[in-house]
Structure 1
Amino acid sequence: MDLMDKIYTLITGGDKGIGLETAKELGRAGQHILLGARNQARGEAAMKALRRAGVIGADLIMLDVTQEATIQEAARWITAQFGQLNVLINNAGIALDHHESPVTMPLATIRADFEVNFFGAVAVTQAMIPLLRKGAPAKIINVSSEMGSLTNASDPHSRFYRGNALGYQSSKAALNMATISFSKALAPDHIAVNAVNPGHTATDFGGGTASGQAVTAGAAPIVALSRSDAPHMTGKFIETAGQVPW
């Protein structure tokens, strides 16, 4: 297969949970996986898991979305090795505020949520745009959350109405706004930008294996949107069941 025929897919936070499952499924489908990880040991363990899953084309990229130097180094490495990027999955995320009242939540906690969930995603996106332009038509997929939906949060009939995680929810709402903004700015470059809600998933991030759907179900809408035969859309917030209200 010619270099330009391959699909190069960068997944931030790809060393565990939904990110790793997405890497496995897309890798088995033939995409070349660029597995972003901020921890060397976890990244190497994830690469072994990819090999066991039958993924042949994959590279580990040390990437901390809160560290600009690692983002720029990742962009330089991808440029030197492949010269393009076709899919960027902004999967890295944290939730540090465990339903503490916004009245007392420390600003440091809120800022930490934003550093990864919003600023980190924006920083990686901006750094990878030149590569995505070379790989166009290309895709940016922001892994968001239904908890970032302002409609759900303000609807007394929604199951999310009583949820109150100011840092996490606000950072995901901001990521949704970034999705809309980038989708409009990058449409002329044939780069589609969408947000995806994986749903409550049984991962370390989602509260462990005792709750939530299987990791394959959480990865499913991300995988579906990342495939080359996925219907074209941009500026949308989706999940397996359809669209999520902003």
Structure 2
Amino acid sequence: MKNVLITGANKGIGFETARQLAQLGYYVFLGSRNRDKGEDAVQRLRGLGLANVEAVEIDVADMHSVMAARVALEARIDALDILINNAAIAGDQPQKISTGDIANLRNVFDTNYFGAIQVTQQFLPLLKKSRNPVILNVSSEVGSLSINTRPGRKDNWDNYNAYGSSKTALNAFTVTLANEFRNTNFRINSVTPGYTATDLNQFQGIKTVEEGARPIVRLATNSEDGPTMKFFGEDGEVAW
């Protein structure tokens, strides 16, 4: 049974991704900043008949918490097969980059960008013990420079400039890490769930969490010769 760690998995897309992967037979560690909320999420899944789930306390913005989570998993498993960096915050709004609060920008980056990097760095030793390790960074179209600069773009994402910038940076992390591991068995990609209704956007998204989790699960469970250093969504590859 392959082992999966999903950060921010006690609710929303992370929780639904955990549910779908557990149903497919993966052993899923649900990362949660709050231990009680993580345990509650696990109990909800076990209530659905899914015994192959376990909670892990991890605050991705706190290095001590990340290191403690690594130690906890090292005591439980020999290898980590899939890491899904899903934890993210939207930050306070509005977020116009010309007037936005710098402290808010730093806070968003601490979770969405630096958090993903330090989680990945800490869990790389366990991932390297997998025969086919996968790292997925959950990104967003809001972070796509190509979409943001295309002629005639009508999307108004001004309220998400801090969030979008952090996802652009996360995509850059995906590319640089995939380049570093390009001659190995690692598969490292970014994936966007699309505009999904969660508390991140006050449930204004047009997709359900079931729909939003699908491209994440599909990419996580790809064949061993699947793609790397790409950005994907529900309908296929997304332009950086």
TM range (shorter): over 0.9
Aligned alpha-carbon RMSD (Å): 1.4
Deviation at 1:195, TM superposition (A): 0.2
The SS at the match of 1:205 is helix
CA contact (8 A) 1:27 1:55 kept: yes
Please tell me whether residue 41 in structure 1 is matched to residue 36 in structure 2: yes
Q: Which runs of 5+ in 2 are unaligned?
A: none
Percent identity of paired positions between Structure 1 and Structure 2:
38
Aligned partners of 1:136 and 1:189 also within 8 Å? no
Unpaired runs of 5+ residues, structure 1, are 1-5
Deviation of residue 231 (structure 1)? 5.7
**Match in the other structure for 1:142:** 137
Identify which of 39, 63, 69 aligns with 1:68: 63
Secondary structure at the counterpart of residue 101 of structure 1 = coil
What's the CA shift for 1:228? 5.2
- Number of equivalent positions: 239
Stretches (4+) displaced over 2 A? 97-101, 156-160, 228-231
Q: Which residue of 2 aligns with 1:124?
A: 119
5 Å-filtered alignment, 1:210-221, equals: 211-221=205-215
Task: Normalising by structure 2, report the TM-score.
Answer: 0.95
Q: Hey, what's the Cα distance between the residues in 1 that align with 2:85 and 2:154?
A: 26
One-letter amino acid matched to 2:199: D
Question: Which residue pairs with 2:219 in the alignment?
Answer: 225
State the shift of 1:206 in Å: 2.9
Distance 2:66 2:168 in 1: 23
Partner of 2:235: 241
The answer on 1:58 being equivalent to 2:53 is yes
Q: CA deviation at 1:100?
A: 3.2
How far apart are 1:157 and its partner, in Å?
A: 2.2
Q: Distance in 2 between matches of 1:230 and 1:153?
A: 33
Secondary structure in 1 aligned to 2:115?
Answer: helix
Instruction: State which of 189, 192, 211 in structure 2 corresponds to 1:197.
Output: 192
2:86 alignment partner AA: N
Query: 2: distance between equivalents of 1:171 and 1:37?
Result: 20
Contact 1:118 1:172 in 2 (8 A): yes
CA 228–30 in structure 1, closer or farther in 2 if over 3 Å, else same: farther
Residue 175 of structure 2 aligns with which residue?
180
Task: State the distance in 1 between where 2:193 and 2:54 align.
Answer: 24
Deviates more, 1:192-201 or 1:226-235: 226-235
1:21 aligns with 2:16: yes
